[in-house]
Structure 1
Amino acid sequence: MAKKRPSKKSKSRGEVLVAIVNDKGDFARLKEEHWYRIPTDTAPRRFPPKWVAFYQTKIFGEEAHAVNYYARVKDIRPVTREELFPGDPPNPKSGRTYHRIEIGSLQRLPQPILSRRFRRIVFIPTTWEKLRAAAEINDLFDESSLEDRLWAELKREQISAERQWWVGVNSKRYALDFAVFCEDGKVDIEADGDLYHSNPEHAEQDNRRNNALAVDGWHVLRFTEHQIREEMAEYCLPSVAQTIHRLGGAVAEGKLHDITHGATAQQQFTLHEVQADYDVD
């Protein structure tokens, strides 16, 4: 009997949640007991999902650093950790509340969704369409149509960037739309929606953010909605390429997987960023 699949017309944001698995015991529960847990206080803003896909960390050998499996969500209910693991001795986390997500059988994706680099991945809300089409983790992000458009052009030009890259500066954390790491510096590329960024309060926040990133060695490029939609080839892409060239070219080290997007492996720009901690308990 054929398994039901979402309609191709379904584009609901957050219908798929990419979550992390960094423990073989948790993966065994997914396969045998068909459930996953998320602390209620750290659940993503787009919740609940219809599907869950699983990013496997370095302990999984040949399947590591990739999304290989997904499952249909059957039910979600709140429980305490004590209810999840009744055999565990009392501990400080016993009373913590979780979403217990009951799932169907694990299904293998037609192709793994690879992580180009070492990076922290916890939750990525995305769409079914993106999950099925993605070749790498960066293809999954679903923040805005402007970012999607810029991402498509960066890939076409073989400019390797990391989407939604988190940076800490002076106790503050910033999510960069696109991060490019170069021999002599770092580039933050932002896709600015006109309505949001024309607000004076938001403009002030952007100014402070730009200054903080500059102190940390980032070169910030901001492109407006009009520029991305109407001046991509004439202005946006040349600005990115010239900045990368001025900073000595993109760094090529610490590669996890070859993801060529039509280029040879030698043409790929890579980054080594080790963040081994994955605490979603």
Structure 2
Amino acid sequence: MLNYIVFFGLIAVILIVYTMYGKYDNGEALERLKGNSYIETRLYQSLEQQGYPVRSQTYCGPYRIDLTLYDWLAIECDGKAYHSTPEQKAHDSKKNHYLRSQGWTVLRFTGSKIHNDLPGVLHKIEKTIHERS
């Protein structure tokens, strides 16, 4: 019986600490969890580790941008399952046009590019930022 009390007591403490952390870290932990896919999360974490002020799932009009930096750089992470049909490509093109009309610079990276050449992806992002500065 004592084992059960200790076990559930520890679970309760862990839940309380987790809840408090989620409330008092200015939403950073929750922000990281909002990514829709593995490739978004991987790129988000890499950008965050580089010290960039990255945000996830930012709305612009009728669209949601995967990742954003500095309120002007939109980064789209295109997984093969959701960006390979002609209809999806047309939607992405329409989204790019809209975002650019709203002042965003748009970069698109395939999931395989993020997975297989993350340093190259980060270099392209850094180059875009330095060109704008």
Category of TM-score, reference length = shorter chain = 0.7 to 0.9
Q: Which structure has the larger Rg?
A: 1
How far off its partner does 1:195 sit? 2.4
Aligned to 2:110: 224
RMSD: 2.1
Structure 2: unaligned runs, 5 residues or longer: none
Aligned to 1:213: 99
Partners of 2:86 and 2:29 in 1: how far apart? 36
Aligned to 1:181: 70
How far off its partner does 1:212 sit? 0.5
Matches within 5 A, 1:33-44: none
Aligned to 1:165: 58
| TM-score, scaled to structure 1 | 0.40
Q: Deviations over 1:134-163 (max 9, x none)?
A: x53322214111111111211121122110
Q: Deviations over 1:117-142 (max 9, x none)?
A: xxxxxxxxxxxxxxxxxx53322214
Partners of 1:179 and 1:225 in 2: how far apart? 17
Tell me if 1:113 matches 2:2: no
Partners of 2:59 and 2:111 in 1: how far apart? 23
Instruction: Classify the secondary structure of the residue corresponding to 1:149.
Output: helix
Aligned to 2:122: 237
Aligned to 2:39: 146
Partners of 2:38 and 2:89 in 1: how far apart? 21
Which amino acid is 2:57 matched to? Q
Q: Deviations over 1:30-73 (max 9, x none)?
A: xxxxxxxxxxxxxxxxxxxxxxxxxxxxxxxxxxxxxxxxx7xx
Partners of 2:35 and 2:102 in 1: how far apart? 27
- Are the aligned partners of 2:35 and 2:57 in contact in 1 as well (CA < 8 Å)? no
Structure 1: unaligned runs, 5 residues or longer: 6-70, 72-106, 116-134, 249-281
- Are the aligned partners of 2:77 and 2:110 in contact in 1 as well (CA < 8 Å)? yes
Q: Which runs of 4+ in 1 moved over 6 A?
A: none
For these two proteins, the number of residue pairs brought into alignment is 122
| TM-score, scaled to structure 2 | 0.81
Which amino acid is 2:25 matched to? I
Which amino acid is 1:177 matched to? D
Give the number of the structure whose residues are more often helix, by fraction: 2
